[in-house]
Amino acid sequence: MKWGCGMYRVLIVDDEPWVLKGIRSTFKWEELGFQVVAETTDSLEAYEIIIRDKPDVVMTDIRMPECSGIDLMKRCRERGIQSEFVIISGASDFHYAQESIRLGCFDYLLKPLQFEEADALLERLLRHLNRGGHQQELDLLESLQHADAAAIRQLLRSRGITAERYQAVYMSGREGEQLAEASEWFGGMEHIVIHADPNKRIVILGCTDSRYPLLAASYEQAAPQTKEGLHIGVSEVSASCDYIPKLIGEAHTAMHDSFVYPAGGTFLQSKEMPAAVRKTVQAVCTAIHQRSDEQVGALLGGLPELFRAERAGMKDVVFLWNQIVSTINHTYNGGSVHSNEELSFMDYGALVHKFSNLEELCSCLSHFIRTEAGAAAPEPDPFVNENFKELLEYVNDHFEQELHLRELSAKFFINYTYCCDLFQKTAKVTFTDYVTRLRLNKAGRLLKDSDMSISEICREAGYKDYHYFNKVFKKWYGVTPSHYRKSQTAPYYGEGRG
């Protein structure tokens, strides 16, 4: 299916009516995300259709009266038309093939077409168009996040947003049709839709006041199959273009309230932590100081239900994690995180990447506390070094998967705390940085050497969310993945900072 929504539009041109019918019946158009919107035996009429409608794909014969397929393509390129051309001809003349390639023809096929050949062509064409469309989306997103205010304002106006106040919406769903239906709720509003990931949409709104009440009402009125697993994060409203990156970040954080509310919903980023939640977090920290493991377990076990009852969000989860991690490290490790790198401060992106939901996070914290309370200095083991080598080999072979050092240390029979130390001494980095280096070096190589889309590379390198991948990549390389790909030959970027 087309990147985003809808289908790619196709024009068929051949001076023989029976050939038009044959081409239409040979390809599995709709099944592969294409729609034949026009066909003609007149190449001059085809030119007018292309100029007027700008189809995504033009399939044309070469030898036609008045205007050949080569001349048709040449005239379109001179007018700046970027439609993909596919030549389907009975002429196997090398000169025609050479000229069509020079003009940027996607493929040159000889009649008669075989069904297998037709299917393979459409599949390759679909991948090519999707990658190009996705890159355009990412270029737009990068411009909104990094251009100056004047350039952003001009960009928004060119996309139909004339209002002087802005709001961002970030949507996540199970499938494209669900998100396409939710996108219809913005009808009548000035807006731009950006397809950040196959299952995520960013919407920039031009508005006079917050659209949150309307979106929340639309969500509540939607069919159950649309609402299930659909998470909509909404930012505050700002009158400044400079704040659009901040608005996108707010909406992204709010969308990740899915961490607390997996069923779905519409969420504004919380401004203040609910008093009952703050009081309970403080009670957990007090119980940790007093080394009351049972009380800690009971309080943590009840936190997910309390979060939902008090409408707490992802910002509050970040506060919960960092407060408790600080307390654990001060109570058991003298304030140092060296002995347990998993107990480090994290932002919401890292938490969502590490845990599936709030229940898992609370369970993990409870496990950490029980483990720290009973921890003892590890005894030297002559087999540990060999086991650690096997662990490293496993990480090197499986770094794209979800990996947790505590589970790995148990799998390879190494004391967890000692395993943290071995990473520092042997690899000269923490486990987290070691895995990040492997993932981002792979991402860098794929950006240089492959034609995969950045979204595909994100998943191939082991990341689930483009926004988080983009953030980690920029921190590592100093530039975004999109900019890195464009500057792939620049020696400055090297292999990252690791």
Domain match, 411 and 489 both: no
- The length of the chain in residues reads 498
Whether residue 389 contacts residue 402, with contact meaning beta carbons closer than 8 Å, is answered with no
pLDDT in tens, 275-297: 999 999 999 999 999 988 889 99
Residue that terminates a domain, selected from 216, 242, 268: 268
Domain match, 206 and 223 both: yes
Q: Which residues contact 262 (CB under 8 A, 6 or more apart)?
A: 229, 357
| CATH number for the domain that contains residue 170 | 3.30.70.270
**Is 26 part of a structural domain of the chain?**
yes
Range scoring the smallest mean pLDDT among 164-168, 189-193, 352-356, 388-392: 352-356
Domain match, 252 and 207 both: yes
pLDDT for 374: 56
Instruction: Print the domain residue range for 464.
Output: 434-493
Q: Residue 15 carries which DSSP code?
A: S
261: left (phi over 0), alpha (psi -120 to 50) or beta: beta
Instruction: Average the pLDDT over 124-137 and give the result.
Output: 79
User: Measured on CA atoms in the order 258, 259, 260, 261, is the torsion positive or negative?
Assistant: positive
**Is 220 part of a structural domain of the chain?**
yes
Range scoring the smallest mean pLDDT among 44-48, 261-265, 344-348: 344-348
Cis preceding linkage at 274, omega within 30: no
Higher local confidence (pLDDT), 221 or 417 = 221
**Is 379 part of a structural domain of the chain?**
no
pLDDT for 338: 46
**Is 416 part of a structural domain of the chain?**
yes
Domain match, 390 and 358 both: no
Instruction: Please check the confidence at residue 372 and state whether its pLDDT lies above 50.
Output: yes
pLDDT for 340: 57
Which residue from 226, 225, 230 is spatially nearest to 201, judged by alpha carbons?
230
Domain match, 93 and 122 both: yes
Instruction: Please check the confidence at residue 78 and state whether its pLDDT lies above 70.
Output: yes
Q: How confident is the model at residue 254 (pLDDT cuts 50, 70, 90)?
A: very high
Instruction: Please check the confidence at residue 329 and state whether its pLDDT lies above 90.
Output: no
Nearest-angstrom CA–CA distance, 61 and 71 = 11
**Is 140 part of a structural domain of the chain?**
no
Nearest-angstrom CA–CA distance, 279 and 218 = 34
Mean pLDDT of the chain: 85
Instruction: Average the pLDDT over 3-27 and give the result.
Output: 84
Higher local confidence (pLDDT), 486 or 408 = 408
- C-alpha 283: how far from its chain's center? 37
Q: How confident is the model at residue 492 (pLDDT cuts 50, 70, 90)?
A: very low
Buried b / exposed e along 148-174 (16+ C-beta atoms within 10 A): eeeebbebbeeeebeeeebbbbbbbbe
> How many structural domains are present in the chain?
5
Residue that terminates a domain, selected from 224, 242, 268: 268
Edge-to-edge strand list for the sheet holding 190-197: 190-197, 200-206, 166-172, 231-234, 265-268
pLDDT for 495: 44
Residue that terminates a domain, selected from 129, 157, 185: 129
Domain match, 424 and 445 both: no
**Is 85 part of a structural domain of the chain?**
yes
The tokens of 146 are what? Answer: 């990094």
Domain match, 12 and 114 both: yes
Domain match, 413 and 467 both: no
